Structures are given as C-alpha cells and as structure tokens.
Structure 1
Amino acid sequence: MTPVKDKDALSRLQDLLADDLAATNRAIVERMHSPVALIPQLAAHIVAAGGKRIRPLLTLAAARLCGYEGRRHVALAACVEFIHTATLLHDDVVDESGMRRGQASANALWGNNASVLVGDFLFARAFQLMTEDGSLEVLRILSAASATISEGEVLQLVTQNDLSTTEAQYLEVIEGKTAALFAAATRIGAVVAGRPAREAEALDAYGRNLGIAFQLVDDALDYAAEQAALGKVVGDDFREGKITLPVLVAFHAGDAAEREFWRRTLEGREQAEADLGRAQGLIARHDGIGETIRRAERYGAAALSALEGFPEGEFRRAMAEVVEFCINRGR
C-alpha cells in the first residue's frame, strides 16, 4: 500500500465532510444535554476531548459514497459516536485506566460509579437516535453491534491473563469489541441511501476489516509507541494482563525461560518495574510488532478490496486513505 501521511488522510476526509461533520458535532452536543449537570459535564469531557471521530466520519462518508443527499446520516453518525463513547467509559472502569486520549480519564476524575452511569446514559441516547430514525434495519444493525461489542469485551475479560488463548480467540475479541462498530457504522450508510444488499455487504466488509486492522495496530502500539503519541500510558495492556497478538507471537516463539516470564507477569500478575522493558525486548526479538502490523496490512488490503465495486471519486479515495491512516500509525 502506498504510504499516506496520517494527518493528510483524515484531514481530507474531514474537509470533504465539513458540513456533515459540523452538523454531527452539533447533534452530539445537543443530545448530551441533561438537567442532571454531571451528565453533560462528564460526557463532554470524553466526547469533546479531541478524538478523531473516525467511526462517525465513516458513517457520513459511506452515505455520501452511496450518493445519499439527505440528513439522516448526521443523527446516525452521532448515534455511532455515542455508542463508541459509552464503551470507552465502561472500558476505562473495567481496565482501571487513568488516562484517555492523553488526559485524565473520566473515572479518574469523577469515579467509577459516575462513569458507568453516564455510559449508560449515552447508550440510551444512542437508542433514542436509532428509534427516531424510524428504520427497523438501522435499529437491527446498530443494536446488534452494541450487543456484539459487549460480548467482545466480556470475552476479553475471560481470556485476560490466560496464555492458552488462541489467535482465533484473540481475533474474535477484536472483531467483537472494535470491528463490529466499524462495520455497522459503514453499513448503515448504504441503508439510509437505499442501496442494494450487495453494497451494504461490501461496506460492512470494508468497515469490519478496517476495524480489525485498526485494533491490531493499537495492540502493537501499546508495546512500541511513546506515551505522548499514543494518548495513553504505554504498557497498559501488559499491566492489565491482556493477551494480544504481539504477546502471542513472542510467547510461542520464545524459549522456556521466556515463556516462564510471560506466565509470571501476565498469568501470575507478578510484575516488577523492569518487566515492561523486558516484555518490549522479547516482543522486538521475535518481531511481534512487525508480525502484528503485517497482519493489519492484510486486513487493510481486504478493506480496500471491498471498495472496488463503488465508483471512483473523492469519497472512495478518502475512504481508502483512512485505511492507510490506520496502518501508518504502526509504522
């Protein structure tokens, strides 16, 4: 794949969708309103914290790619962002994360109870937006994605600290917790445009493969990136005992002493200050990051292939560049 500068890739899509994105942001702010002051305060902290808005951007782009000229996609893009934000609030509580997007997480500032309850509020707002849209197909797609996300998070909890986790189980986790919402976000673009099922399936495949690639790169970055670039504390996955592909590659390629290190630190949760550095060294020795990025590139290629049935144009080019953006974060 031809390298594309990350900022340029997202900026071009944002520029193409400037009016739609501005309307989506207005809808987000409006729907965060509540007479209970803590709700908009906490929700705004994470929603307005500077996230890239990749998922709602994909909803907007997919609808325009399909020739849609109405306004339904704006509210549904806001819905997608609320689902994503709700999962972030819940995830940070489960993971006991202290940072999110380079700043203190909501649970660190307001506590776990408030974060969980405001996450529930955002899920409820998302379902209000779905029902207001009036399409049973849209409701089916987004509600199914919401359930799948929860299943993916629970499966991750079950496989955490378990080095017998297979690569297939790991992929099932990321397909659930990340790729499902990417797929739903793009698929509904074809639905609101009234396009045939084959186009909806193609956009589903684009989003699903993009989501897997995105998460693979994220998991690689947790062992490779500097904290300032990643927007979270490097090594969070290691400290939490998450079983990700870089770890699986290093564990299965390692000798007996190396495997015992992984069992002690991830399964036994016995970690010393120097252990993260050693984990990074072992992953580097066995090319765990390189192998993870190569897997991401294959899923990225599948996402690009899914766009081939759509006409050439600025939206198709911009959506292809988003694939490059997701992969390039790991290079």
Structure 2
Amino acid sequence: MKNDSTHKPHDRLAAYLVDDLAAVADIIRDRMASKHAPRIPEVTAHLVDAGGKRLRPMLTLAAARMCGYDGPYHVHLAATVEFIHTATLLHDDVVDESAQRRGRPTANLLWDNKSSVLVGDYLFSRSFQLMTETGSLDVLRILSNASATIAEGEVLQLTAAQNLATDEGIYLQVVRGKTAALFSAATEVGGVIAGAPEAHVKALFDYGDALGVAFQIVDDLLDYQGHSTAIGKNVGDDFRERKLTLPVIKAVAKADAEERAFWTRTIERGRQEDGDLEQALALLQKHGALTQTQDDALAWAGKARAALDGLPDHEVRDMLSDLADYVVSRIN
C-alpha cells in the first residue's frame, strides 16, 4: 500500500529512481572521504546528511532514464551535480554570513569560514574528477560552464543585491546564474550521456532552466511569506542581508519618494531599525509585489512544463511536469 508521501511528485520520482539514488549516495560517501584531512568528511556530511531533497541529482537521473540510458555514468553525473551544489552552499553561507541551513546550524557556524571555503573547494575538485570519468567532452563542457556561470551569478549578485537600480532583467540574470544554471546542466547532461537527439537535449535544458528560475523566485517569495520551520531558515533573512530580490524590486519600481527613502536606508545603506521588516512587508502588500512575484513563478513553471512537450511520452516526463507544479505549490 502506498504511503501518502508518494503523492508528491518529488517522492514519486525518488521512488522510481530508488536504486540509482542509493548508488549516488554510495559514490558521495566514497568521494567525500579524505585520508589526510578528516574535517572534509565531517563538514561535508553535516550538509549532505541534513535532509536535502537531492532534487538536482534526481533531475540528472530522471533525464537519463527518460532518454533510455542504462549505463553507469548517469550516477557519476548525479553525484557530480550534488557535489557542485553542496560546494556552492558552503561558499554561500560564508558570503551571506548565514547561521541556518536546512533547519540546522551552518557549517561556518559550527566550524569556521576557512573550513567551509576550503571544503567547498575540495568538493568542486571532486566534482571535476567525477565528471571526467564519463569520458565525455560534452559533459565536461556543460558542467564546467555551469560551474563558471554559478560563480559569475554570485559575483553579479554582490554588486546588484544592494543597488536600487537593479531591475528585473538583472535579477533574472543573477537567478539564471546562481540557481538555474545547475538545474539546466543537471537535466542537459542526463540527455547527453544517454545519446539523446539534439532536440531532446535542448528541451531538457529548457525545462531545467525554467524550473530553476521558478524555484529561486519561490525561495525569494517564501523569505517574506513563509514559515521558518518550512523553509529551513529565518523569515526575513533576505531583508536583513539587504538582498534586493524580486518582491522588493517590484515594490521599489512603484515606490513614492518616501518609500524609496525607506528602501535606500534599509537596503542600500544597511541602516535597519526595529519594525523595518514589518514596514517592508506592508509596502510589498501595498503594491501587490508578493502576488505579482507569485504570478511570475507560476509562469516559469508553465514554461518548464511546455518544454517537456518536445520529449517522448514517458512516465518520468509526467513526474517532471508535476514537479514543476510542486515547486511553485510551496508558496501555499
């Protein structure tokens, strides 16, 4: 008898890929080991074992299986994707000075910034070792390009996040870099390793790209209207960290002089006082910024579903379509 949790697309996909995911977990455990530096597996295990959904590696496995792949290397690529993701999380928490990740203290809080940065570097190196084992230059090109794009997106965010001149176009560029690049690479390499036709590989890329954008928009929205227990971090963290995310960008675009002065003080200059978060929420509500942001997330989820139309019928394709809806259902 099926458990209720299998009604969620993510859990249905995990059940379908259960053997592949177990193989990915074995590779991750094996490759995060270090003979000479025991802190590496300590720090890595803290994040890897924290209960993340492993969404990105699942996308690689799902894409490969949907395209008829039955070789061993989709597992290597899924582990590669997870290592890249884990490395970026370790670095992000240092950059953002975060204290909580997935509902637990961050590695930089439990150890220190140096350990988080260096272990992140180790995981990036491990990911490149893994991807070369496939023997595919196309795979190496896609994942190495994604790694560079992620770093570029993070650096762009440093300059854009606290600048009220940042518009929705720049925001999308940041999101496509820091989040969607790994989603689209994860789905694309699944098709490539399976030898899928170019049109199918392009459809998988488009799906991952749109899904990644929707995922990040929802994350940014939940920072203002989620619950700490559900999102694994503190509500209002983006505001406190002075990140100009999509809801704020929309509110700033409609701000009068007094409201703009508020955003300038709190975001650009970083002079925040008691009650400012509540004031920010009131302005977001006043200008309908949260509802508009939700509409954007739904539109990107629709693009993800539409991209799947270019792929052959398969039960995994249906799960991926439902997954696009599930990603935005977190809003509720």
Give TM-score, length-normalised by structure 2.
0.96
Structure 1 partner of 2:182? 181
Measured after TM superposition, the shift of residue 240 of structure 1 is: 1.2
Quick check: 1:149–1:178 contact (8 Å CA) kept in 2? yes
Q: Which amino acid aligns with 1:63?
A: A
Measured after TM superposition, the shift of residue 255 of structure 1 is: 2.0
SS in 2 for 1:223: helix
Quick check: 2:161–2:244 contact (8 Å CA) kept in 1? yes
Measured after TM superposition, the shift of residue 254 of structure 1 is: 2.3
C-alpha change, 1:184 and 1:242, in structure 2 (3 Å) is same
Percent identity between matched residues is: 55
Structure 2 partner of 1:150? 151
Q: Report how many aligned residue pairs link the two structures.
A: 327
Tell me if 1:20 matches 2:20: yes
The Cα offsets for residues 304-331 of structure 1, whole Å up to 9 and x where unpaired, read as 1111122222101111111011111113
Tell me if 1:301 matches 2:288: no
Quick check: 1:251–1:262 contact (8 Å CA) kept in 2? yes
Q: Which amino acid aligns with 1:254?
A: A
Paired with 2:285 and 2:318, the residues of 1 have a C-alpha distance of: 34
Q: Which has the higher contact order (CA 8 A, sep 6+)?
A: 1
Structure 1 partner of 2:248? 247
Paired with 1:224 and 1:273, the residues of 2 have a C-alpha distance of: 19
Quick check: 2:203–2:311 contact (8 Å CA) kept in 1? no
Structure 1 partner of 2:32? 32
Paired with 2:7 and 2:52, the residues of 1 have a C-alpha distance of: 13
Structure 2 partner of 1:206? 207
Measured after TM superposition, the shift of residue 6 of structure 1 is: 9.6
Tell me if 1:8 matches 2:8: yes
Measured after TM superposition, the shift of residue 131 of structure 1 is: 0.9
Structure 2 partner of 1:76? 77
Quick check: 1:89–1:116 contact (8 Å CA) kept in 2? yes
Structure 1 partner of 2:123? 122
More divergent stretch after superposition (268-277 vs 205-214):
268-277
Paired with 1:96 and 1:268, the residues of 2 have a C-alpha distance of: 18
Paired with 1:288 and 1:28, the residues of 2 have a C-alpha distance of: 40
Quick check: 2:161–2:245 contact (8 Å CA) kept in 1? no
More divergent stretch after superposition (70-79 vs 308-317):
308-317
Structure 2 partner of 1:322? 323
Measured after TM superposition, the shift of residue 235 of structure 1 is: 1.1
Structure 2 partner of 1:196? 197
Paired with 1:284 and 1:313, the residues of 2 have a C-alpha distance of: 42
Q: Which amino acid aligns with 1:15?
A: A
Measured after TM superposition, the shift of residue 8 of structure 1 is: 1.3
More divergent stretch after superposition (287-296 vs 141-150):
287-296
Tell me if 1:60 matches 2:61: yes
Quick check: 1:6–1:329 contact (8 Å CA) kept in 2? no
More divergent stretch after superposition (248-257 vs 179-188):
248-257
More divergent stretch after superposition (92-101 vs 64-73):
64-73
Runs of 4+ aligned structure 1 residues displaced above 4 Å come to: none
Quick check: 2:180–2:210 contact (8 Å CA) kept in 1? yes
C-alpha change, 1:38 and 1:60, in structure 2 (3 Å) is same
Paired with 2:178 and 2:286, the residues of 1 have a C-alpha distance of: 29
Paired with 1:263 and 1:140, the residues of 2 have a C-alpha distance of: 41
Paired with 1:226 and 1:76, the residues of 2 have a C-alpha distance of: 33
Quick check: 1:75–1:129 contact (8 Å CA) kept in 2? yes
Paired with 2:43 and 2:166, the residues of 1 have a C-alpha distance of: 36
Paired with 2:25 and 2:39, the residues of 1 have a C-alpha distance of: 20
SS in 2 for 1:272: coil
SS in 1 for 2:319: helix
SS in 1 for 2:274: coil
Quick check: 1:6–1:328 contact (8 Å CA) kept in 2? no
Consecutive unaligned residues in structure 2, runs of 5 or more: none
Q: Which amino acid aligns with 1:263?
A: T
Structure 1 partner of 2:47? 46
Structure 1 partner of 2:99? 98
Give TM-score, length-normalised by structure 1.
0.97
SS in 2 for 1:312: coil
Measured after TM superposition, the shift of residue 185 of structure 1 is: 0.1
Measured after TM superposition, the shift of residue 7 of structure 1 is: 6.5
Paired with 2:197 and 2:275, the residues of 1 have a C-alpha distance of: 55
Paired with 1:121 and 1:98, the residues of 2 have a C-alpha distance of: 22
C-alpha change, 1:274 and 1:110, in structure 2 (3 Å) is same
Tell me if 1:311 matches 2:312: yes
C-alpha change, 1:6 and 1:304, in structure 2 (3 Å) is farther
SS in 2 for 1:307: helix
Paired with 2:191 and 2:22, the residues of 1 have a C-alpha distance of: 21
